Amino acid sequence: MSITSFSTTVPMPRRRVLGAYLEEARSECLRYMRAPAFMLPIMLFPAMFYLLFGVLMAKSEGADAGRYLLASYGVFGVMSPGLFGFGVSLALERDGGLLTFKRALPMPPGAYLLGKMMMAMAAAGVVIVLLLAMAVLLGHVALGPGQAGALLLTGMLGVLPFCALGMFVGTLFKGQGAPGMLQLIYLPMSFMSGLWFPLPMLPKFLQQIAPVWPSYHLDMIAMNAVGVQHVALLPHVAVLLGFAVVFLGLATRRLRRFG
């Protein structure tokens, strides 16, 4: 007589799955709020950069220049939470073994990454709100409520492709090497995308390769949001979506193979 044992896996109710995602997102937010030395520079550095260059330049160049610089420095600002808030923290947590510990917990596998993405979106929202406040109060930039809301939405969603890139870099380098490598990506990409200076002011070859960078496409969407330029949004959204999918896939593959 043979005894056959059956093992059945009872799926977690949807309500508990949703609760796990929300709890992980809440814990990520609390963890970073308790580490202001890590998050404050990420959020305040773009604001200080805009205050020093964007506000002063906008006052002497007119209303269109004010909106132009707000959009460009807004994109520059939201890149930071995606690259550093996601990439550096992931590299540090891999080194410290926290990622291995998270995998052992009875939680949906995507909750950890979703929590980090939501934290990056919240940080990007804070950056945009700070820049909007400085633009209106200090730079006297004429901006309608709809334009301000569109720029805020653009920043909070536009951070996601840079989360994917930061995640990929975080899987390639250890905690000590990730910040330097991300700086080598962040600053040159910002310059070559025309975020610091208008593209016509850059050398011809830089103008030609600008569409290679995701920051260029996000900048075009931001320009449309504030009414500086009117462009077809779908091609730029498609490029950003494809960029996010590719780097998220590469990062996920490396995490599965190397942890």
Q: Is residue 216 part of a domain?
A: yes
The total domain count for the chain is 1
Q: Is residue 83 part of a domain?
A: yes
Whole-angstrom distance, CA of residue 64 vs CA of residue 46: 21
Whole-angstrom distance, CA of residue 19 vs CA of residue 17: 5
b or e along 232-248 (b: 16 or more beta carbons within 10 Å of the residue's beta carbon)?
eeeebbebbeebbeebb
- Say yes or no to pLDDT of 218 above 90: yes
pTM of the model: 0.85
Return the sign of the alpha-carbon dihedral for residues 95, 97, 100, 101.
negative
User: What six digits make up the tokens of 8?
Assistant: 């059945």
Give mean pLDDT, residues 146-161: 95
Cβ atoms of 34 and 119 within 8 Å: the answer is no
- Give 221: exposed, middle or buried? Use CB within 10 Å, 0-12, 13-18, 19+: buried
Q: Is residue 146 part of a domain?
A: yes
Residues 167-215 have pLDDT tens digits of 999 888 887 888 899 999 999 999 999 898 888 888 999 899 999 999 9
Give mean pLDDT, residues 211-220: 95
- Say yes or no to pLDDT of 145 above 50: yes
- Say yes or no to pLDDT of 16 above 90: no
**Position 52 confidence tier, pLDDT thresholds 50, 70, 90:** confident
b or e along 74-107 (b: 16 or more beta carbons within 10 Å of the residue's beta carbon)?
bbbbbbbbbbbbbbbbbbbbbeeeebeeeeeeeb
Containing structural domain, residue 129: 14-258
Residue 61, classed as helix, strand or coil, is helix
Residue 86 host element (H or E)? none
**Which of 40-54, 77-91, 237-251 comes out lowest in average pLDDT?**
40-54
What is the separation, in whole angstroms, between the first and last Cα of the chain?
A: 44
Q: Is residue 172 part of a domain?
A: yes
Q: What is the largest CA-CA distance in the chain?
A: 92
Whole-angstrom distance, CA of residue 249 vs CA of residue 169: 13
Unique residue bearing structure tokens 């809301």 = 149
Q: Is residue 219 part of a domain?
A: yes
Give mean pLDDT, residues 221-226: 94
pLDDT for 14: 72
Higher-confidence position of 242 and 229: 242
**Position 257 confidence tier, pLDDT thresholds 50, 70, 90:** confident
Whole-angstrom distance, CA of residue 168 vs CA of residue 33: 24
- Say yes or no to pLDDT of 229 above 50: yes
Q: Is residue 7 part of a domain?
A: no
**Which of 72-76, 115-119, 182-186, 192-196 comes out lowest in average pLDDT?**
115-119
**Among the listed residues 42, 109, 133, the one whose alpha carbon sits nearest the alpha carbon of residue 79:** 42
- Say yes or no to pLDDT of 6 above 50: no
pLDDT for 62: 59
Give mean pLDDT, residues 20-46: 74
Q: Is residue 231 part of a domain?
A: yes
- Say yes or no to pLDDT of 157 above 90: yes
Amino acid at 172: L
Q: Is residue 4 part of a domain?
A: no
User: What six digits make up the tokens of 244?
Assistant: 């996010």
